[in-house]
Structure 1
Amino acid sequence: MARTVADFGLTCGTLPTGTRNAITDVPGVRVGHCTLRDGDINTGVTAILPHGGNLFRDKVAAAAHVINGFGKTVGLMQVQELGTMETPVLLTNTLSVGTCATALIRDAIRRNPDIGRTTGTVNPVVGECNDGPLNDIQALAVSEEHALAALADAHDGDVEQGNVGAGTGMSCFGFKGGIGSASRKIALGGDHHLGVLVLSNFGRRGDLILPDGRRPDPRQAVEAERGSIMIVLATDLPLEHRQLDRVARRAGAGIARLGTFWGHGSGDIAIAFSTGNRVDHDESRDLVPLLALNEARIDMLFRAAVEATQEAVLNSMLSAEAFTGRGGTHRASLADWLRDRGR
């Protein structure tokens, strides 16, 4: 069971959470993991599926925002240009991006034999963080089979968090980081949700600020900020590409609340999608209807993105257990720090 901020008496904002307090509170969204732990190999793949159907044929509206671009992703340029996403999102370590992209392409071709023959090619979406301190990243341990296993594991229940999937070897603010998730319930035109999943691997030791103002490691940070974070936001509200881009930008405020400043060597990237707006690959009409949120109501989405991002990062750290990885490199658990102080 994931440990969350609520288990430690912490609060991130004022909006209510969804039932699971996870990205899977957005109907149809699924998450799966493949975890690799063997000696110095501590890595994996995490898959986020916007829905359980054929994404190439039934695309979702999407946008991507680069907070700081020290990262090695695949697919974001086309997402931003066309405003749609046509594969699941895979998260992994930096040197496994190409492998995961190939796995997504093979999976899409298997489902859609016309790709690259009688219709266009497919745009795989892959994000990464560098788990090198805890994982032998040079071993290139992640295979296409591992990526496909993460896709096959995807389900719409509770999200496993912490040292799992792509988060296995990640660090955050000098503690153990990893996979974290959170959601907010939004009453706009009915009950809707905005959910966030993060791969947290950023923040200098000593910079972390908890929601109650405490700083778990108040030593002055001396190292450069070279970490990264991938932030995936999902909502079932019908947003169009420009609105999703605006929501994705607010993820930066969520991580800033924790004390980071996304330094020169940090790769901080947000991907947002809406299951409430779909694009049929085989659409034949010249004009198609589009449903979109009244822009005057978007502030609630902005608040939800900030609160859920902040909470997802903390959940990634609280769910992560203390970890010793490659060469004896150790990361303590934030949950242990709080328990030692009676919280």
Structure 2
Amino acid sequence: MSSGRGQVWAHVGQFFAETDYDVVVVGAGLLGAAAAQYLRELRPELRVLLLDEGGLPNEEGATLLGAGVWDAAGLNAEAVALADTTRRELERWLGVDLRPLTLLDFGEEGPCSAGEVLAAFPALTAWVDPAHLPRVESRDALTYRPGELTLRLGQAAVAAGADLMLNVRAELTPGGVRLHRLTVTNRHEVVVHETREVGARLVVVAAGAAGTELLEQGLGLHTPHGRAYVQRPRLRQPSDSASPLLRAGDLLLRPLSGEYALYLPPGSADPHGYQPTSGRLTGVQVGLRRELLCRLLPRMDALPVLASEALGVGRSLADIEGAWLGLPYGDPQHPPVAEQVTDGVWLLLGGSATRGGVDTLGLGLVRGMVDGLTH
């Protein structure tokens, strides 16, 4: 039985000689870190290795872009069970950092008049046009930071005995993974320092949009999942700890870091291999993609704030964040996915739906997957 704290390999200067694990988890985003932690918690005799090409949490994936809003309204019975499990896990790992906020859900139906509810929030009266969105439901939702949750789960996994390797590119092989450990040259080029073979009885692929490519390139396995690019523009309107969330259809606005962040699911899958770009200033990508602006234009009558100067167009990639997301073709707003693609290989995808997405269902889905694997 493995016990004690796991080993961490953060750079190539740390010698690595392991050749076999019971489980290898590829991807240290929210779902991957949760899978590693639950595996060690429920089956402490299993040797678990968690991998990521970047850091913990992954800096370039969707985890850091997530809205972090738990809202179980409108879910079916199966999804409600996953949401309830997720809520219990959120309370367990985040405690007081899981914050309740009022969510105003605008539309053509709802128990309250939009004008009456907006009167209680004077700062928002110019945001919504009640002629287009006349009704609203006000309810409580829970908010958190997915990156912070991922960090806590990853640290707990290591504390429980899971090994963690960062700065490594994984390649799936029959019966395990091939590890390409990365380093940076004095010319700031990322290169492979060494390659190692590791056997595993079970591989959990939680690498976001890259997961489907890993399955195809390494094992020749095809799944009905594509990928899409999303951006998270900011709305330069002041917010504080008491500011409400706003939802209008599949558009969500969350108070974040003194402003508002705008969340909209991807509209469709981009062609394979397409690298999105927008404007350029001295070689740096800037601004909003035209596709996103085209999706926002029809919403500006109902939400006049989107047509104001408050919509941030950014001056650098740090202003307008983006990430590739895995999604099934033809279904850009899908819930989280946990599926066995072949014996010994599972695929985890976070999902891009703004309702019933990874923030509300993710931990429940992973917990259920691990429960099934360990019994």
State the TM-score, normalizing by the size of structure 1: 0.24
Structure 1 or 2: more strand by fraction? 2
State the TM-score, normalizing by the size of structure 2: 0.23
